[in-house]
Amino acid sequence: LLSFISNQISSDDAWKEGKTLPYSALCDVFSAIEAISSRLEIQEKLTELFRLVLLRDGGGANEDALKNKNRDKNDKAVRKDDRQSDLYSLIYLASNSVAPSYECVELGVGDSILIKAIGEASGTAPNIIKKKYDAEGDLGTVAQTSKGKQKTLVGFGRMSGPKRLEANEVLTVFRQIATTSGSQSQKWKVDKIKGLLVRARGSEPKYIIRGLQGKLRIGLAQSTVLASLAHAVVLTKPKDVVQLTDEQLKEIKDTEDGDRGAYPDFARKLCDKNLPLDIKLDAAVAIIKKAYSEVPSYDSLLDAVLCVPLQELHKACNLTPGIPVAPMLAKPTKSVVDVLKRLNGLRFTCEYKYDGERAQVHMTPDGKTKVFSRSLLNTSEKFPEVPLYVREACKDAPVTSFVLDTEVVAFNRETNQFVPFQVLSTRKRTEESAESAKVQVIVQAFDLMYLNGKSLLDCPLAKRRALLRENFVPIDGKFQFATSLDHTENGDTTVIEEFLEQAVKGQCEGLMVKTLDVSAAYKPSLRSLNWLKLKKDYLEGLGDSVDLVPLGAYFGKGKRTGVYGAYLLACYDEDSEEFQSVCKIGTGFSEEDLKELAASLNSYIIPEKSSQYVVSDALECDVWFDAVQVWEVKAADLSKSSTHRGAIGKTGESGRGIGLRFPRFERVRPDKKPEEATTSDQILDMYYAQDSIVGGVDGGADDD
Ligand code: ATP
């Protein structure tokens, strides 16, 4: 594939003469990816394209271009900026995004605008485009076939045809469209899209339209994009990666933060020539993913990748106030005994597990504050009082910058009590102020990841917590530290059990149990044993509820005519990046739920089951949806199943997966993305943690 694309690109004069990556090169890779399902093969294809871009500048496809004596030196040389801009375009277009998620700039142009643009670009009436769309279910394909018809029209009188599209032009237009709103902008958007379509060739119209819809549908997840970039960097060794001087490095990195000892050893050895390639590749992926979990911005990541060797990436790309860090996550446990067994003699603390919404509060050195959700979305407008409360809490301390991890909980100041999560979820997306908001909140702070110019991620929790308590003070009804109980190992479970009772009586969900000294760093995005959750509700069941993705639905009958009677839910497999069915669900819904869910999912119906869905034929749905929502579900237990596909291939029994028995709908989780649903590995862990399995009796848990 590399040589194919490389030949194709190097025969393209524009690329040869030092212009930027043709959009067609990206679309060729998209087409190749769409046709395969193996994640490794998909990764290889994308890696090749990254390599091609990294190889520019004096190497690979452009050697001839650089030697071309006739070119204008100032204008046509392959500039470093071009390579950088190619990399940006490639990574954003492949991820179908235009900006980091925390900037909340979403693509997702309405079908009516797209239909109009396709119609105008191909000289076809919009109603005909609409009919084809209804019949085929994919507006991208409709754009491609309509475009085929238009070839002669555009070529007429212009033998060479329109100028070919470059990847960065497409990204620029996508960005302009995503950031422009208002009724006046509709015609402008149609013109912009038409401008792209008129110049598009081959499969380009298909991916332009799908990209603008916000659903590329080629099964390319973010972790594959990051892994491909990592592999490309190791395999390519770009010839002239810009090396920063020590002074420049000092400027961009957190120089005071010398305590990065926790960085994995294998990563530091990345350059060791004697290391086998697969270890180098694994190390590179770990480094890139770690950097991205601290700074989830492709811009920052690529800047760093082009500036420093991979093993030094953490110096150039690390936690920065103002940019959200992927939150640390917890593993479920089923009992206090289970907790003690897992922590195996380590000192730990138990904190109340508040039932609210996670809020990461940032203050940058210029005094600006921002609030981010669990999914890294900016929720500053939803909680305008949160920065005020937090700053009030640190007003006497010499604090210049910070990143705090907190839970924002609905709170009744008159009774001095927490209010259930359901009430908090009625808060509007934008609230004027604390006074005008119907629901009052309190900030329960439980971690400090950054303070006064210094990252604390590698410090143990005991130190982070001490700094939190030294630099902030509690304020009644506004800001409190998580109530906690430190535990000294003596095998006595009653103290913890009583503390759990107390937490539940105080309207909390249970406890969070965290290591204090050893294995107690803050690990962004990781679900490690350093944080355990212990929820009262689930002690006798699975240990936790699960968060699943609706893939499809079955038409309702009788009382449920007109809405869906049941849905098919799936967990997420991180290795294959697929959604694996784990249950059919028809219980726990109110009539209102059924109406609302059907209405919201109906705009995401797809013509057929996605290649990312692993579902047996016996469960064929009446309609299939794009994976867009996450639902919290409780179940009686987990069982091996011949119909469901949870953790398939990992259960030790060929062809059998894990399914949920007696699932019940709890609520929609708008704060989670489908890729943040419960993973197949978690399902497997929960399956094996069940008493019936631990006790060696696997028999009761079989849904066949
Ligand atoms: P997960 O975060 O494990 O994917 P989830 O989003 O469903 O699952 P929970 O299982 O309820 O969340 O548990 C973790 C969440 O608990 C955190 O994301 C945070 O919002 C909340 N929380 C409440 N109190 C604390 C605390 N003291 N420490 C850490 N998190 C807490």
> What does the DSSP assignment read for 96-160?
T-SS-GGG-------HHHHHHHHHHHHT--HHHHHHHHHHHS-HHHHHHHHHHHHHHHHHTT-TT
Tell me the backbone φ, ψ of residue 619, rounded to 5 degrees: -110, 20
In this prediction the ipTM stands at: 0.96
Which residues does 475 contact at the CB level (< 8 Å), separation at least 6? 389, 392, 393
How many other C-beta atoms can be found within 10 angstroms of the C-beta atom of residue 634? 19
CA 537 to centroid of chain Cα atoms: 28
Which residues does 536 contact at the CB level (< 8 Å), separation at least 6? 500, 503, 504, 509, 510
Structure tokens at 97: 């995004």
- Interior/surface letters 142-154, b for 16+ CB within 10 angstroms, e for the rest: bbbebbeebeeeb
Our answer on whether the CB atom of 418 is closer than 6 Å to any ligand 1 atom is no
Nearest CA to 532 out of 334, 686, 330 is that of 330
Tell me how far apart the alpha carbons of residues 452 and 397 are, in angstroms, rounded to a whole number.
11
pLDDT digits (tens, 9 = 90+) for 317-351: 999 999 999 999 999 888 888 888 888 888 999 99
Instruction: With residue 410 as reference, give the H or E element that holds it.
Output: strand 402-412
Torsion of CA 368, 371, 372, 374, to 10 degrees: 150
**pLDDT of res. 513:** 96
Exposed / middle / buried, residue 298 (Cβ in 10 Å: 0-12, 13-18, 19+): buried
Q: Computed over its alpha carbons, how large is the radius of gyration of the chain?
A: 27
Torsion of CA 266, 272, 275, 280, to 10 degrees: 60
pLDDT band at 152 (very low <50, low <70, confident <90, very high): very low
**pLDDT of res. 528:** 82
Higher pLDDT, 92 or 558: 92
pLDDT digits (tens, 9 = 90+) for 230-278: 999 988 864 444 444 555 445 444 433 333 333 344 455 566 666 677 7
Instruction: With residue 391 as reference, give the H or E element that holds it.
Output: helix 385-393
Which residues does 208 contact at the CB level (< 8 Å), separation at least 6? 140, 143, 170, 193, 196, 197, 200
Tell me the backbone φ, ψ of residue 518, rounded to 5 degrees: -95, 140
Our answer on whether the CB atom of 446 is closer than 6 Å to any ligand 1 atom is yes
Our answer on whether the CB atom of 482 is closer than 6 Å to any ligand 1 atom is yes
- The answer on pLDDT for 194 being more than 90 is yes
Exposed / middle / buried, residue 408 (Cβ in 10 Å: 0-12, 13-18, 19+): buried
CA 445 to centroid of chain Cα atoms: 24
pLDDT band at 378 (very low <50, low <70, confident <90, very high): very high
Rounded distance from Cα 330 to ligand 1 centre (Å):
7
Average pLDDT estimate for 577-585: 95
**pLDDT of res. 588:** 92
Higher pLDDT, 395 or 122: 122
Rounded distance from Cα 329 to ligand 1 centre (Å):
7
Structure tokens at 297: 């911005």
Our answer on whether the CB atom of 512 is closer than 6 Å to any ligand 1 atom is yes
How many other C-beta atoms can be found within 10 angstroms of the C-beta atom of residue 481? 18
Do residues 18 and 58 make contact, with C-beta atoms less than 8 angstroms apart?
no
> What does the DSSP assignment read for 517-570?
STT----TT-EEEEEEEEEGGGTTTTSS-EEEEEEEEEE--GGGTTSEEEEEEE
Tell me the backbone φ, ψ of residue 367, rounded to 5 degrees: 85, 0
Our answer on whether the CB atom of 331 is closer than 6 Å to any ligand 1 atom is no
pLDDT digits (tens, 9 = 90+) for 630-663: 999 998 888 899 899 999 999 888 889 999 988 9
Rounded distance from Cα 636 to ligand 1 centre (Å):
22
Structure tokens at 232: 């490309």
Tell me how far apart the alpha carbons of residues 390 and 361 are, in angstroms, rounded to a whole number.
8
Average pLDDT estimate for 165-182: 92
pLDDT band at 488 (very low <50, low <70, confident <90, very high): low
Structure tokens at 610: 């996605």
Top mean pLDDT of 298-312, 425-439, 480-494, 620-634 is at 620-634
pLDDT band at 411 (very low <50, low <70, confident <90, very high): very high
**pLDDT of res. 328:** 96
Q: Which residues pair with 632 in a beta bridge?
A: 547, 667
Our answer on whether the CB atom of 465 is closer than 6 Å to any ligand 1 atom is no
**pLDDT of res. 485:** 94
Our answer on whether the CB atom of 217 is closer than 6 Å to any ligand 1 atom is no
Do residues 86 and 307 make contact, with C-beta atoms less than 8 angstroms apart?
no
Whose C-alpha lies nearest to ligand 1, atom 4?
Answer: 329
Tell me how far apart the alpha carbons of residues 163 and 195 are, in angstroms, rounded to a whole number.
11
Do residues 580 and 647 make contact, with C-beta atoms less than 8 angstroms apart?
yes
Average pLDDT estimate for 570-578: 92
Our answer on whether the CB atom of 573 is closer than 6 Å to any ligand 1 atom is no
Our answer on whether the CB atom of 628 is closer than 6 Å to any ligand 1 atom is no
To test the pocket of ligand 1, the residue of 329, 386, 442, 536 to mutate (highest count of ligand atoms within 8 Å of its CB) is 329
Our answer on whether the CB atom of 407 is closer than 6 Å to any ligand 1 atom is yes
**pLDDT of res. 270:** 61
SS3 state of residue 380: coil
Whose C-alpha lies nearest to ligand 1, atom 16?
Answer: 353
**pLDDT of res. 65:** 36
Catalytic annotation, pick one of 289, 353, 514, 640: 353
353 flagged as catalytic: yes
To test the pocket of ligand 1, the residue of 350, 357, 407, 545 to mutate (highest count of ligand atoms within 8 Å of its CB) is 407
- The answer on pLDDT for 15 being more than 50 is yes
Nearest CA to 117 out of 108, 105, 126 is that of 126
How many other C-beta atoms can be found within 10 angstroms of the C-beta atom of residue 426? 9
Of the ranges 205-214, 629-638, 692-701, which one carries the lowest mean pLDDT score?
692-701
Rounded distance from Cα 102 to ligand 1 centre (Å):
20
Q: Which atom of ligand 1 is nearest to the CA of 527?
A: 3
Of the ranges 132-136, 206-210, 676-680, which one carries the lowest mean pLDDT score?
132-136
To test the pocket of ligand 1, the residue of 350, 351, 358 to mutate (highest count of ligand atoms within 8 Å of its CB) is 358
Tell me how far apart the alpha carbons of residues 68 and 10 are, in angstroms, rounded to a whole number.
13
Rounded distance from Cα 390 to ligand 1 centre (Å):
20
Nearest CA to 50 out of 9, 94, 87 is that of 87
* Model confidence, pTM: 0.79
Share of the chain above pLDDT 70, in %: 83
Q: How far apart are the first and last CA of the chain?
A: 45
Tell me how far apart the alpha carbons of residues 521 and 128 are, in angstroms, rounded to a whole number.
59
pLDDT band at 491 (very low <50, low <70, confident <90, very high): low
Our answer on whether the CB atom of 511 is closer than 6 Å to any ligand 1 atom is no
Whose C-alpha lies nearest to ligand 1, atom 7?
Answer: 547
To test the pocket of ligand 1, the residue of 354, 500, 532 to mutate (highest count of ligand atoms within 8 Å of its CB) is 354
To test the pocket of ligand 1, the residue of 353, 357, 379 to mutate (highest count of ligand atoms within 8 Å of its CB) is 353
Our answer on whether the CB atom of 667 is closer than 6 Å to any ligand 1 atom is no
Residue 472 C-beta-side C-alpha neighbours within 13 Å: 35
Our answer on whether the CB atom of 231 is closer than 6 Å to any ligand 1 atom is no
Average pLDDT estimate for 693-698: 51
Q: Which residue has the tokens 């920063």?
A: 244
Tell me how far apart the alpha carbons of residues 547 and 567 are, in angstroms, rounded to a whole number.
14
Per-residue H/E/C for 1-50: CHHHHHHHHHCCHHHHCCCCCEHHHHHHHHHHHHCCCCHHHHHHHHHHHH
Share of the chain above pLDDT 90, in %: 55
Our answer on whether the CB atom of 399 is closer than 6 Å to any ligand 1 atom is no
Exposed / middle / buried, residue 553 (Cβ in 10 Å: 0-12, 13-18, 19+): buried
Do residues 640 and 656 make contact, with C-beta atoms less than 8 angstroms apart?
yes
Cα–Cα separations (whole angstroms), residue 626 to 110, 345, 571, 617: 16, 46, 14, 18
**pLDDT of res. 487:** 81
Structure tokens at 518: 């050893």
Residue 607 C-beta-side C-alpha neighbours within 13 Å: 11
Whose C-alpha lies nearest to ligand 1, atom 20?
Answer: 358
Whose C-alpha lies nearest to ligand 1, atom 24?
Answer: 353
Cα–Cα separations (whole angstroms), residue 320 to 9, 390, 402: 38, 18, 9
Q: Which atom of ligand 1 is nearest to the CA of 330?
A: 3
pLDDT band at 595 (very low <50, low <70, confident <90, very high): very high
Q: Which atom of ligand 1 is nearest to the CA of 544?
A: 10
Q: Which atom of ligand 1 is nearest to the CA of 632?
A: 7
- The answer on pLDDT for 546 being more than 50 is yes
> What does the DSSP assignment read for 608-621?
S--TTEE--GGG--
Tell me how far apart the alpha carbons of residues 446 and 253 are, in angstroms, rounded to a whole number.
26
Cα–Cα separations (whole angstroms), residue 416 to 333, 352, 419, 440, 441: 30, 16, 10, 11, 11
Tell me how far apart the alpha carbons of residues 197 and 396 are, in angstroms, rounded to a whole number.
59
3-state helix, strand, coil in the chain (%, to 5): 40, 20, 40
Our answer on whether the CB atom of 481 is closer than 6 Å to any ligand 1 atom is no
Average pLDDT estimate for 107-120: 91
Our answer on whether the CB atom of 330 is closer than 6 Å to any ligand 1 atom is yes
Do residues 442 and 423 make contact, with C-beta atoms less than 8 angstroms apart?
no
Rounded distance from Cα 512 to ligand 1 centre (Å):
8
Rounded distance from Cα 381 to ligand 1 centre (Å):
22
